[in-house]
Structure 1
Amino acid sequence: MDIGIIGLGAMGRAMARNLADAGHHVKAWNRSGGSVAGVTMVASPAEAFKGDAVFTMLSDDDAIRATLIASDVLAQARRGLVHVVTSTISVAFARELVDAHAVADIGYVSAPVLGRPDVAAKGELNVLAGGPPDAIAKVRPLLDVIGGRIWDMGDEAPTANAAKIACNMMITMAIEAMAEAVVITEANGLARERFFDVILNTLFGSRSYQVYSANIANERYEPGFKATLGLKDLRLASEAAADAGRALPMLAAVNARMSETVAAGMGERDWSAMAKYTIETGGALTP
């Protein structure tokens, strides 16, 4: 298939490489240039919309709006194309994208992904796919290339975005839970490595606990997913909760903690640096 890619950050690069390695003709546009082996770079986003499908992996709503909506790229797209947005975006913007694609008469699928760059490089992402069944069926062979498992989120694309936002919210809660547990256990003489050995082999053996307990134990916070992006996703979760007319106290707490982490100068570090902030401040709340 003739595939376009918009956005070549760590995740987008891995997706583009895997699609090219699978035998697809891949052309990509990136705001800051660059190249990927086996991928043809094009001069504009509109050129990436001339094939069978296009994947967008940009950082947020504003980046997608500026790149695709403000410049009216959708109106220039090849008829019959399906646009797959794999970014973590707001539910409200996903609804806007559904309407914009309907006007342009092209397919739209929300397919945010769970997984860090190392998982993307292996083609083992968990893909949360929402949208019309015919559109998903058309791009399913491509989703199978980038994903280890494709999860059906239903016929309404924004549902997938709500699920992804909720997942990221829960990851931050796990990070903060481990940090607060370390505050208690280390204050009583138990090394964090020994405590994590207990929780990983009894109650909390999931990937989020495995990955981020290792970061905390080794005090290794090189960015896999930056704290600034984690804060963005918590803002999206807060907006979704407000739109649903609900107040979520745990969400409010981790949103405040991540904001404090970024304000403390750790915004470019991995979002698990929130644990470092909590442990070093003893969990004290900022007045």
Structure 2
Amino acid sequence: MKTIGFIGLGRMGSGICRQLIEGGYTLTVFDINESNSSAFADKAAVASTVEEVLDASSLVFLSLPGSPQVEAIVEQYIAHGVEGKTIVDLSTSYPLSSSKLHAQVKAAGGRFADASLTGTPMHAEQGSLIVTFGGDEDTFAECKPVIDTFASRGVHYVGGPGAGNIAKLANNYLSIMYIALYSEIFPLAEKLGFDTAKLFEIIGNSGVNCPMYQSNAAKIVNKTYDPSFALDLALKDLSYVKKLFDEHQFPSFVLDGGLNLLRIGHQQGYGANDCSEMARVVRDMMGAE
């Protein structure tokens, strides 16, 4: 499989595309932002429509903001004809949407899978992402050699349609909620007059310490809020988790607090900034920002 389509050349998608090209694959690419596409003009075929990408490729990767965008393109593809085509969604999407799209594409003669990414744009540039793959096992076997090109830290088959996104949302839920905890406690300690740099050091020598703590609590203590994962993306992912709880009529006690903190951050204009700026919301409320 040498001809690959790629839709979505943002911070993650562009790095993945470069890895695929370096791996010897021929790409046809598309992005609604023409400047993103033009960056690949000397490396890949740049399509003017998403249908053109499908026509030129046997395998199409989608790297998009979320389920609404993925659903819109897959619906276009089904109408256009997906017989013999494989569509792999690399986005963090809603698992039940992924399951529905899998069934629809399969009924139309194609294959669909969700292959969620764990990592940062830097990992994408380095080809060192982690991928959790949900779908049919034969589709996984077909796609794994291609995905290996940009996922040196592991490509995991985790189950049927939607399972890749369940694994990713579980990971993101825990990651985001850790940051929400740091965002509450350090501003409180600061408001109480405690030396938060000292507190950071003490906690860093306890069982609470972990890479997530070292990278994100430090941003909050130092008020740097270095960009890594946007607050609005965190809000989207936790909203998907909340929807899963609601679908099954389960309560979500801890999740609701994190969601509210993110919602206020969005309303205050922090959505495009790092999700560690949840701490600014708390500081605002305490009159300490």
TM-score normalised by L of structure 1? 0.90
Cα deviation, 1:179-235, whole Å, max 9, x if unaligned, reads 222134334544333333333343234332232123223322354322122111111
Aligned residue number for residue 61 of structure 1: 67
Match of 1:250 among 254, 258, 272: 254
1:128 touches 1:151 (CA, 8 Å); kept in 2?
yes
**SS of match in other structure, 2:61:** strand
Q: State the 1:283 CA deviation.
A: 10
Aligned residue number for residue 232 of structure 1: 236
Match of 2:177 among 165, 173, 177: 173
The farther-off stretch of 273-282 and 82-91 is 273-282
**SS of match in other structure, 1:109:** strand
Residues 221 and 77 (structure 1), Cα distance of their counterparts in 2 relative to 1, 3 Å cut: farther
Match of 1:51 among 53, 57, 73: 57
Q: Matches of 2:218 and 2:85 in 1, distance apart? A: 42
Q: Matches of 1:67 and 1:267 in 2, distance apart? A: 25
The reply to whether residue 126 of structure 1 matches residue 158 of structure 2 is: no
**1:135-154 correspondence to structure 2 within 5 Å:** 135-147=139-151, 148-154=153-159
Question: Quick one: percent identity of the two aligned structures?
Answer: 26
Please identify runs of 4+ aligned residues in structure 1 that moved more than 4 A: none
Cα deviation, 1:134-153, whole Å, max 9, x if unaligned, reads 10111101211111211221
2:111 touches 2:139 (CA, 8 Å); kept in 1?
yes
2:116 touches 2:164 (CA, 8 Å); kept in 1?
yes
Aligned residue number for residue 27 of structure 2: 26
Cα deviation, 1:49-98, whole Å, max 9, x if unaligned, reads 232311101101221223331xx213545643321101111122112211
Aligned residue number for residue 202 of structure 1: 206
Structure 2 unaligned regions, length at least 5 = none
Q: Matches of 1:67 and 1:214 in 2, distance apart? A: 40
2:98 touches 2:113 (CA, 8 Å); kept in 1?
no
Residues 52 and 194 (structure 1), Cα distance of their counterparts in 2 relative to 1, 3 Å cut: farther
Structure 1 unaligned regions, length at least 5 = none
Cα deviation, 1:123-143, whole Å, max 9, x if unaligned, reads 111111111111011110121
1:224 touches 1:270 (CA, 8 Å); kept in 2?
yes
Cα deviation, 1:80-120, whole Å, max 9, x if unaligned, reads 33211011111221122112211221111111111121121
The farther-off stretch of 265-274 and 209-218 is 209-218
TM-score normalised by L of structure 2? 0.89
Q: State the 1:177 CA deviation.
A: 1.1
The reply to whether residue 16 of structure 1 matches residue 17 of structure 2 is: yes
1:16 touches 1:39 (CA, 8 Å); kept in 2?
no
Residues 68 and 280 (structure 1), Cα distance of their counterparts in 2 relative to 1, 3 Å cut: same
Residues 23 and 244 (structure 1), Cα distance of their counterparts in 2 relative to 1, 3 Å cut: same
Q: Matches of 1:283 and 1:61 in 2, distance apart? A: 37
**SS of match in other structure, 1:8:** coil
Q: Matches of 1:36 and 1:141 in 2, distance apart? A: 26
Q: Matches of 1:207 and 1:26 in 2, distance apart? A: 35
Q: State the 1:42 CA deviation.
A: 0.8
Aligned-residue CA RMSD (Å): 2.1
Q: Matches of 1:142 and 1:207 in 2, distance apart? A: 29
Aligned residue number for residue 6 of structure 1: 7
**SS of match in other structure, 2:65:** coil
The farther-off stretch of 98-107 and 234-243 is 98-107
Amino acid at match of 1:64: V
